[in-house]
Amino acid sequence: MTSLDAFATAKLDALAAQSLRRDLVHTARAAGTVVERGGRRYLSFSCNDYLNLSHHPAVLAAAREALDRYGIGSGASRLVTGNHPLYGALEERLARLKGAEAACVFGSGYLTNTGVIPALAGRGDLIVVDEWAHACIMAGSRMSGAAVHVFRHNDVAHADELLTTHRAAHRHALLLTDGVFSMDGDLAPLPALGRLARAHDAWLMADDAHGIGVLGGGRGSSYAFDEPADVPLQMGTLSKAIGAYGGYLCASRPVVELMKSRARTLVYSTGLPPPVVAAAIAALDLIAADPGLAEAPIAKARLFTRRVGLPDPQSPIVPVLVGEAEAALAASRMLAEEGYLVVAIRPPTVPAGTARLRLTFTPAHPDQDVERLADLVRERVVGNVS
């Protein structure tokens, strides 16, 4: 065995010993929430396609039309020849939905955070970030070279303390958080963070990957409060409620213009496939035409939490904390035997000792299945957690 293979094998063995080894399982999603895995069909509660738009006929028709007209690949970076005309329509719709002056579309949400953050902050600057922020916010922060300080989850007073201590010694400051936390489904206190950022001359950026389309009448988590939050940097993804792929930043025109010169993941990465962009446009049109659509996933989540006896959900994401990784895997296997796909989330995605089932809800989940799943979780998962 080469030293390289010996290294990889030892790492894999160590991960397996802690029930932390991961695997990629083929999962065919023929339509919405029904999936096929290993020759079996399941009703899936583990997909972020919150509005089932990835299979909506109008979305598919738009993608097919773009495929025939522009082909599958964009052929180059947007700065070279990959900036096909559909980008303009998509960015205009995103800016309108988010109430921003302009928008810039990236290759994915991950590429957005790892492009935008280093374009705005570098050595000599300060980043203050929520401890539960998504991995790609952390990656962008570390890549930027700025001084990074982490505040306790949703603890505005702690963020204030860090800014008070460190702000003066740095040129610019970014305050970073998820709008909706991906593994817990709770919301960041965006209005309070907006005020805090202003008070310290920091720039607030919220990752609304799980908020767009499903909160604030579809406009996202900045609009989910009694007062709209002051978030000058609104980023998110087109891969969840929008049902397609890609990421975006909505911001002022100068900030968006700066990205075209400075965000490395935009400059040096190929543009999105035209059918994907066309699909995102069609999905945004469906969301804008029916603000009531956004309420459906959270209503299903509420049906589930009330029946299990969990607190009301703040988003369509519901965590059921189990504890140890092996116990979460066992709970997931039990639900699979009953026909439900509910994936276990383990460290390092979540902190040690907080392995969980993470459930997501969509309008296509039949009420009777939501209720049956709730009964199984209440009787055989929650009841067993010490």
Q: Which residues bind ligand PMP (CB under 6 A)?
A: 108-110, 134, 136, 178, 182, 207, 209-210, 237, 239, 247
Closer to ligand PMP by CB, 294 or 374: give it. Answer: 294
What is the rounded CA–CA span in Å between residue 111 and residue 99? 22
Per DSSP (E only), the strands in the chain are 28-31, 34-37, 40-44, 102-106, 126-130, 147-151, 173-178, 203-207, 233-237, 247-251, 317-323, 340-341, 344-345, 355-360
Between residues 70 and 110, which has the closer beta carbon with respect to ligand PMP?
110
* Min dist. Cβ of residue 286 to ligand PMP (A): 19
**Least distance CB 137 / ligand PMP (angstroms):** 7
Q: Which is nearer to ligand PMP, 243 or 247 (CB)?
A: 247
Say which residue the tokens 């990784």 belong to: 325
Residue 238 or 377: which CB sits closer to ligand PMP?
A: 238
Smallest separation, CB 188 to ligand PMP (Å): 11
Task: Provide, rounded to whole angstroms, the least separation between the CB of residue 320 and ligand PMP.
Answer: 18
Residue 280: which residues within 8 A CB-CB, separation 6 or more? 90, 238, 242, 243, 244, 245, 246
Q: How far is the CB of 267 from ligand PMP (least distance, A)?
A: 18
DSSP calls for 307-375: HHTPPPPSSSEEEEEEESHHHHHHHHHHHHHTTEE--EE-TTTS-TT-EEEEEE--TTS-HHHHHHHHH
Given the complex with ligand PMP, which of 144 and 239 has the nearer CB atom? 239
